[in-house]
Amino acid sequence: MAWLGLYNYWIVVFLMMAGLYIVIARENLIKKLVGLNVFQASVFILYITVGKVDGGTAPIIAEGIEVYSNPLPHVLILTAIVVGVATTALGLALVVRINEAYGTIEDDELEERERET
Partner 1 sequence: MILPHLPALQVVVPLLAAPLCVVLRRTAVAYGLAFLASWAAFAISVLLLLQVLDSPGGVISYELGGWAPPWGIEYRIDPLNAYVMLIVAAIGAVVITYAGPSVAREIAEPQRYLFYTSYLLCLSGLLGVTVTGDAFNVFVFLEISSLSSYILISVGATPKALTAAYRYLIFGTIGATFYLIGVGLLYQMTGTLNMADLAQRVPPLAGNRTILVAFAFIAVGVGMKAALFPLHIWLPNAYAYAPSVVSAFLAATATKVAVYVLIRVYLTIFGAEFSIAGMGIGYVFMPFAIAAMFVGSAVAIFQPDVKRMLAYSSVAQIGYIVLGFGIATALGVTAGILHLFNHALMKGSMFLALGCVFYRTGAVTIESMHGLAGRMPWTTAAFVGGGLGIIGVPLTAGFISKWYLVTAALERGWWWLAALILLSSLLAIVYVWRVVEAAYFRPAPAGAPAGEAPFPMLVATWALVAANVYFGLDTRLSVGVAERAAAALMGGGP
Binding site for partner 1 (CB under 8 A): 16, 20, 23, 29, 32, 36, 39-40, 43, 46-47, 50, 73, 76, 79-80, 83, 86-87, 90-91, 94-95, 97-98, 101-102, 110, 114, 117
Among 48, 49, 47, 36, which Cα is nearest to 86's? 36
Nearest CA among 21, 70, 28 for reference residue 42: 21
**Cβ distance to partner 1 smaller for residue 65 or 90:** 90
Which helix (H) or strand (E) segment holds residue 6: the answer is none
Asked if residues 51 and 72 have their Cβ atoms less than 8 Å apart, the reply is: yes
Q: Can you tell me whether residue 56 is helix, strand or coil? A: coil
C-beta of 60 vs 115, nearer to partner 1: 115
In angstroms, what is the minimal distance from the CB of 43 to partner 1? Answer: 5
| 24 versus 63: smaller Cβ distance to partner 1 | 24
